[in-house]
Amino acid sequence: MPLKSSTLEYSFNCDPKFTSPNQSIVQFFCDRVFKFNKIKNVKISFIFCSDNFLSNLKKEYFNKNQYTDVIAFQMNKDSDNFLDGEIYISLDRALENSQTFEEPYEKEIIRLVIHGCLHLIGYHDKSLKEKQNMTKIEDKFLILDNWKKLFKNLNE
């Protein structure tokens, strides 16, 4: 069932072996990212999946045999009027990343959501400088909105 906010529309699918991330929190952060970047018309599908599922996409579309945490596909040609995309997030990677970086699992999921949105907007992370820039932007959104307090409030 799609959630709507103004002209920003999101749909969610989650592999049944996982608990689906809180859709209200995902929507909240996506709204902030897109509005900050002055993108007003969005239709994004989130697919929360396993390492194996995402690894197969990486092989098929990028010819790389490796695990990854997030892949974003823009479904329409560049347009000033509309952004249509799919964001695939490995919840296996999110869990491992949260343990590696000693961050809460929910925060890591939101970081990957923001990361996927930034890719759809046009940010890249092929070079170290680009990766550092994306991480800096992700951190700003996570700090700006005090994600932990938000998560608590939306789950009450």
Per-residue pLDDT of the chain (156 residues; tens, 9 = 90+): 444 445 899 999 999 999 999 999 999 999 999 999 989 899 999 999 999 999 999 999 999 999 999 999 999 876 667 899 999 999 999 999 999 999 889 999 999 999 999 999 999 999 999 999 999 999 999 885 565 566 565 555
CATH number of 3-154: 3.40.390.30
pLDDT value of residue 143: 83
pLDDT value of residue 54: 96
pLDDT value of residue 76: 87
Record the tokens describing residue 72, joined without a space. 């974003």
pLDDT value of residue 120: 95
Element (H, E) at 16: none
pLDDT value of residue 79: 62
Residue corresponding to tokens 């296996």: 92
The C-alpha atoms of residue 53 and residue 79 are separated, in whole angstroms, by 29
The C-alpha atoms of residue 55 and residue 40 are separated, in whole angstroms, by 32
Picking from 142, 91, 104, 137, the residue whose alpha carbon sits closest to that of residue 118 is: 137
pLDDT value of residue 1: 43
The C-alpha atoms of residue 21 and residue 34 are separated, in whole angstroms, by 20
pLDDT value of residue 147: 58
pLDDT value of residue 74: 93
